[in-house]
Structure 1
Amino acid sequence: MIRIRRSRPSEGARVIEIWRGAVDATHHFLTPEDRLAIDEMVCSFLPQAPLLLAVDEHDYPLAFMLIDGGHMEALFVDPAHRGTGIGTALVQYGLSLHPKMTTDVNEQNSQAVSLYERMGFGRTGRSSIDGQGRPYPLIHLEYLS
């Protein structure tokens, strides 16, 4: 049984653990230097960010999502729980709050691109660099269904 709730400040270490595991499992395209720089940036803000958490029956966080003004800034699932529907449940919850939700996804993360497109997101554009100016193209998506 998965439940979705707001994060608590005391859960920062677990959120970072989820982020690191998910990135290591899906972002093989990052250079080691960029991975380290992004990790430092993420550790400076993510623990305090207003996240939506997917938690198990023991209230243990398994995944998180960050939405800002209808734009999904982040969706990360503990690699031990990938493919179980937790990410889909978080996205559906986000869509219940923001029916025209948008997101950006790394073009090299083909599994994430496929997930969003299967869920009804359509491509609205592409950037050749990521939000920090790194050479990781982004696909811009909006929920269309």
Structure 2
Amino acid sequence: MQMIAVSERPEHFIQSLVEVWEKSVRVTHLFLSDSEIENIKDYVPQALRGIESLVIAEDGNHIPVAFMGIEEGSLEMLFITPKERGKDLGKQLIQYGIEKYSVKSLAVNEQNPQAKGFYEHMGFQVYKRTFFLRPRNLR
């Protein structure tokens, strides 16, 4: 897999990453309902356009299969298509983020125990817990 830092973010590219996001979320965020996923999905393009550093992983056909977003040394998003999960791609992205962008922190939802376990396996530790009320309607 090739890691690529992305600065140009045309609409067709953003939409391809939204597809990666949705495929990933549907298999990893089982605590979200379909309607919650659809509501959140409306905000994903804005987040992708606005994140300071965006790194993608492409397959051999130059199709994005994963991405991460970094803001001021904090990993803000990391999503991998189900087809590529379990192939060390998450580990490669995290290592790339640490080496190239000095990633030192992240936030993970405790309702996603696989992600929490993955980040702990990568050496991250819980240093603070916060309680967020999930709004009924994100619009």
Give percent identity, aligned residues only. Answer: 34
Aligned partners of 1:126 and 1:112: how far apart in 2? 15
Q: Mark the runs of 5 or more structure 1 residues left unpaired by the alignment.
A: 136-145
> Which residue identity lines up with residue 130 of structure 2 in the other structure?
S
Equivalent residues in 2 for 1:124-135, closer than 5 Å? 124-129=127-132, 133-134=133-134
**Aligned partner of 2:3: which letter?**
I
**How far does residue 80 in structure 1 lie from its aligned partner after superposition?**
1.0
* RMSD of aligned alpha carbons: 1.8
Task: State whether residues 70 and 98 of structure 1, in contact with CA within 8 Å, keep that contact through their aligned partners in structure 2.
Answer: yes
Aligned partner letter, 2:32: L
**CA-to-aligned-CA distance 1:19-61 (integer Å, 9 cap, x gap):** 0000101111013443222111113332564410011233221
Q: Which amino acid in structure 2 is aligned with residue 93 of structure 1? A: Y
Q: d(CA) in 2 for partners of 1:61 and 1:100?
A: 22
- The 5-angstrom pairing of residues 37-116 of structure 1 reads 37-47=39-49, 49=51, 50-99=53-102, 101-116=104-119
Amino acid at match of 1:74: M
**Following the alignment from structure 2 to structure 1, what is the Cα–Cα distance between the partners of residues 3 and 50?**
18
**Distance (whole Å) between structure 2 residues aligned to residue 106 and residue 42 of structure 1:** 17
Q: Secondary structure of 1:127's partner?
A: coil
Say whether the 8 Å CA contact 2:58–2:65 is kept in structure 1: yes
Question: CA-to-partner distance for each residue in 1:81-135, whole Å, 9 max, x for gaps?
Answer: 1111111100000010244510000101111111111111111111111xxx417
Aligned partners of 2:107, 2:18: CA distance in 1, in Å?
A: 20
Which ranges of structure 2 fall in alignment gaps of 5 or more residues?
Answer: none
CA distance in 2, matches of 1:17, 1:47: 15
Please list every run of at least 4 consecutive aligned residues from structure 1 whose deviation after the TM superposition is greater than 6 angstroms.
Answer: none
Task: Flag the structure with higher strand content.
Answer: 1
SS in 2 for 1:25: helix
Provide the aligned length of Structure 1 versus Structure 2: 131
Q: TM-score, normalised by structure 2?
A: 0.84
